[in-house]
Amino acid sequence: MRRLLSWFAALLLFSTAAGAECLLRGTGDMGVIVERASGSLLVIDTSAHRQLFRVTGLGDLSHASAVYSRDERYAYIFGRDGGLTKVDILCGRIERRVVQGGNSIGGAISQNGRLIAVSNYEPGGVKIFSSDDLSLVADIPATRVTGRDGREKGSKTVGLVDAPGERFVVGLYDSGETWIIDMTDPASPEITRFTDTGTLPYDGLITPDGRYYIAGLFGEDGLALLDLWHPERGIRRILDHYGRGEQRLPVYKMPHLEGWAIAGDRAFLPAVGHHEVLVVGTGDWQEKGRIQVHGQPVFVMARPDGRQIWVNFAFPDNDTVQVIDTESLQIIKTLKTGKGTLHMEFTPRGEEVWISVRDSDEIQVYDTETLQLTHRLPAQKPSGIFFTDRAHRTGL
């Protein structure tokens, strides 16, 4: 009995020591910040405005994005080098990591939280993994038969999002297609192909209610819309030729469609190659107006209550953020945040916005009512900012 008690005490001591670095707390006010140059991740507390952990060894994070598990404990990081990394944000450590491709551009988590999908430039296609242990569930090549010889040609996949009904939706850049991947039965994925999306779909978004998937087209003006309630209706073109007849500007950085703003019954989106934000009615998907802004918009993001739109810009105007009032459609504030302003993220209820400023090696935090800078946090060449409330929103 004495030996048994000694063994139990030793086991308890070991277990306590092993978990000593993990936090015993809720995750609702936590998030991660990508440090792109060093392949590291900051785990942060948004209430205390402080860093909790720095996690290293995540590979090439030059175009990294993140999704969260349903319990908000795990962040899944999609790296440009094809790395998929599961990070425990309560312990500040890598739980599991796989290099699943040669050039990855993003991913999504399924509605039930059990599957992680990754879109790839190289070798193309979509790979789907278990969110538990990152084991491969499905490998879906993005190929089509071309030419009389029947040879197959691959395509980059872009704009991957989750959709209701355990589905993923993705664009095929080279072949101009949109695919719905139904994972209701993970052992037998069902793919619905739409081959008339348009020329070079470069990114996509899904509306917050999960109904509409919209693809941006790099090869032509206009957008492609798919109603996921009625996929049998096929692809519909909207805002066709919105830039035709105007002087186009060089496109220094493609806008990110995930950052489009949906506020009430209107969408606010960046005009590719123009210094404009387009205002679109979500009932008929027709243009309702344009707002002239400081530069070429990259992210056009709505405060959670829909009252404000925050816009950042491509080089050489990436030192500025502008705030638009959605009632008057007027610019109410121009902020000079500093060169290399890359990403923005609102706290869940929108009282603050966090902005990454790469060239200043810092995160700036603004009060969205007073529009004043309230905090600065050091970070090594920060880019993407991802808060845990994304775990409960479709398409993020």
pLDDT in the model for residue 2: 53
Percent of the chain with pLDDT over 70: 88
Residue 151 lies in a domain: yes
Percent of the chain with pLDDT over 90: 73
Q: Is 90 exposed, middle or buried (0-12, 13-18, 19+ CB in 10 A)?
A: buried
Instruction: Residue 147: give its domain's CATH number.
Output: 2.130.10.10
pLDDT in the model for residue 36: 92
CB < 8 Å & 24+ apart, contacts of 178-181 = 178/204, 178/213, 178/215, 178/224, 178/226, 178/235, 179/142, 180/228, 180/231, 181/117, 181/126, 181/128, 181/140
| Averaged pLDDT for residues 279-289 | 91
DSSP string across 318-379: TTEEEEEETTTTEEEEEEE--TTEEEEEE-TTSSEEEEEEGGGTEEEEEETTTTEEEEEEE-
Looking at the structure of the chain, the number of domains it has is 1
Residue 275 lies in a domain: no
pLDDT in the model for residue 396: 83
pLDDT in the model for residue 387: 98
Distance (Å, whole) CA 208 – CA 266: 12
pLDDT in the model for residue 382: 97
Position 136: which residue type?
L
Residue 121 lies in a domain: yes
Kindly report, residue by residue over 204-234, the tens digit of the pLDDT. Answer: 889 989 999 999 888 787 889 999 999 999 9
The pairing of beta strand 212-217 with beta strand 223-227: antiparallel
pLDDT in the model for residue 140: 95
Which domain covers residue 150, as residue numbers?
100-253
Closest of 374, 383, 394, 344 to residue 78, by C-alpha: 383
Residue 13 has pLDDT above 80, yes or no: no
Residue 149 lies in a domain: yes
Residue 352 lies in a domain: no
Residue 360 has pLDDT above 50, yes or no: yes
Residue 165 has pLDDT above 90, yes or no: yes
| Range in 92-96, 148-152, 300-304, 326-330 the model is least confident about | 148-152
pLDDT in the model for residue 244: 53
Residue 52 has pLDDT above 70, yes or no: yes
Q: Which of 258-272, 273-287, 311-325 ranks highest by mean pLDDT?
A: 311-325
Residue 11 has pLDDT above 70, yes or no: no
Closest of 280, 286, 309 to residue 368, by C-alpha: 309
Residue 366 lies in a domain: no
Residue 361 lies in a domain: no
CA angle (135 as vertex; 42, 83 as ends), nearest 5: 40
Backbone phi and psi for residue 10, each to the nearest 5 degrees, phi listed first: -65, -40
Residue 82 lies in a domain: no
